[in-house]
Homo-oligomer: A and B are copies of this chain.
Amino acid sequence: MTEIKSETSQMPHVLIIGGGFAGLHCAMKLADAPVRVTLADRHNYHLFQPLLYQVATAVLSPADIAAPIRRVLRHQQNVRVVLARLLGVDLENKLARFPRGDVSYDYLVLASGATHSYFGKEEWANLAPGLKTVDDALEIRRRVLLAYEAAEWEADPAARQAKLTFVVVGGGPTGVEMAGALKEIASQTIPKDFRHIDTTTAQVILVEAGPRLLAALPEPLGQRALKDLQQMGVQVRLNSLVTDVREGEVSIGADLLPAENIIWAAGVRGSEVAESLGCELDPQGRVPVAADLSLPGHPEVFVVGDLAHVEDAATGQLVPGVAPAAIQMGQHVAKLIKQERAAGKPLEPRSPFRYRDKGGMATIGRNRAVAHIGGRHFSGFLAWTIWSLVHIIPLIDFRSKLSVIFSWFWSYFSLSKSARLITGRPKLKVKTALGVVSGSEEQKR
């Protein structure tokens, strides 16, 4: 068995957990290193998460923004890819526990990312889905499309309005982008498709706990995003807390609002694996790491990407959970491992991680975006063009680039969304049309 041969090989084994930006770029950077690399992920694909909201809003298909990890790494001979979920880590014995057995490592790179956080109200999860995986996006797409189907046949005006009310919780980039896209669907994409309802009366409400949108970007850009969203007809509620989520209604502060569609873009927490490390986590469930991204006391274990709580060595500020930071962390760790292998011994001290902040941006709608690059601010059409380019270039393969460009051009000029399919078995049954139907019902036939 090749399996046994590689286990007995003398080359050190780097086990990477997670094929997101951090894990994948770490693996790629190790291509020429004298190590064996294993990349394990729960999914078989690398997902370009910044465009995931476009799957949720029916612009793109999942295959446009996701590529099989095996495919991406197929020419890199020192890496093997495995579809598996990490159960935990035995730091003492340098073992990673998987359902079918333990795997030993010389270096462990934890890059398993973050998931939604409902701030202790995990029972809201089914009623207010978040947007982290392809399946999340398809679930949201299904609900959004079903909402209009249900409204079309709802005779009671109040019930109809509840079905046509979309509440997006969280005013970060995902929340802003979702709110803008949902409003565009209602006002541009589908008005002609329905006979009974006027889809332009659909309400989109963006709820943000803090005093402004896009807190990670400079203040003027948050204000511009607010203005743009309001011009589009999105209701933005700042300084507002969602206090309860129940079926068909949401409490925002003291207000009770009938709303059947709630989308959660508010909080994230580190993935569950962090808990098995036995160290103190930060309030968001992230792992505080040393300046070199290693776990304190365990120089052979690194935590990178959204799972890491790390302060930038230069500025002392917390490194944000964004794709460029994840890529840089993954590459930094690969560089450290290569240096140690070249030196043949542990390096002391290792070079600390320095985050190169290239800026940030968010798209709001057609021809509308805000961007902050190299200290300069952009908005409107120019920012929107920059946003589009910046999100096309890093797409993992040429095929995806072409496909996304095509979908965007199509959507731009036709105002239509091409992936308006209600598919899959929903997590929650939705009352709609002439009865309770779910996405697909062939199993009931």
CB within 8 Å of B: which residues of A? 1-3, 40, 42-45, 61-64, 66, 68, 70-71, 74-75, 80-85, 98-101, 103, 115, 132-136, 138, 145-146, 149, 152-153, 155, 190, 192-196, 271-272, 399-400, 402-403, 406, 410, 414, 416, 418-425, 427, 432-437, 439-445
Check A442 against B132 for contact (C-beta < 8 Å): yes
Q: What is the distance, in angstroms, from A179's C-beta to the closest C-beta of chain B?
A: 22
State whether A135 and B439 are in contact (beta carbons under 8 Å apart), knowing that A68-B420, A421-B45 are contacts in the complex. Answer: yes
Check B435 against A84 for contact (C-beta < 8 Å): yes
On chain B, the residues within 8 Å of A146 by CB distance are 83
Check B410 against A406 for contact (C-beta < 8 Å): no
The interface residues of chain A, by DSSP majority, are classed as mixed
Q: What is the distance, in angstroms, from A86's C-beta to the closest C-beta of chain B?
A: 9
Bound CA–CA A278/B31 (angstroms): 68
Bound CA–CA A192/B63 (angstroms): 20
**Contact among B84, B424, B440 with A433 in the assembled complex (CB-CB below 8 Å):** B84
On chain B, the residues within 8 Å of A66 by CB distance are 421
On chain B, the residues within 8 Å of A440 by CB distance are 42-43, 133-135
Check A437 against B84 for contact (C-beta < 8 Å): yes
Check A136 against B82 for contact (C-beta < 8 Å): no
Indicate the member of A83, A85, A432 with the most B CB atoms within 10 Å: A83
User: Residue of B at shortest CB range from A98?
Assistant: B434
On chain B, the residues within 8 Å of A194 by CB distance are 70
Indicate the member of A3, A70, A410, A414 with the most B CB atoms within 10 Å: A70
Check A193 against B70 for contact (C-beta < 8 Å): yes
> 8 A–B contact pairs at CB < 8 A?
A66-B421, A70-B193, A80-B196, A82-B153, A85-B434, A132-B442, A134-B423, A271-B445
State whether A2 and B196 are in contact (beta carbons under 8 Å apart), knowing that A133-B440, A442-B136 are contacts in the complex. Answer: yes
Check A414 against B433 for contact (C-beta < 8 Å): no
On chain B, the residues within 8 Å of A423 by CB distance are 62, 134-135, 138
Check B43 against A422 for contact (C-beta < 8 Å): yes
User: Residue of B at shortest CB range from A189?
Assistant: B71
Check A45 against B434 for contact (C-beta < 8 Å): no
Check B441 against A63 for contact (C-beta < 8 Å): no
- New A-B pairs, 12, CB < 8 Å, besides A62-B419, A68-B420, A403-B403: A1-B155, A2-B195, A62-B421, A71-B420, A74-B192, A82-B153, A84-B153, A85-B437, A138-B424, A399-B416, A402-B406, A425-B425
Check A85 against B138 for contact (C-beta < 8 Å): no
Check B135 against A442 for contact (C-beta < 8 Å): yes
Bound CA–CA A74/B152 (angstroms): 14
**Contact among B81, B433, B445 with A82 in the assembled complex (CB-CB below 8 Å):** B433
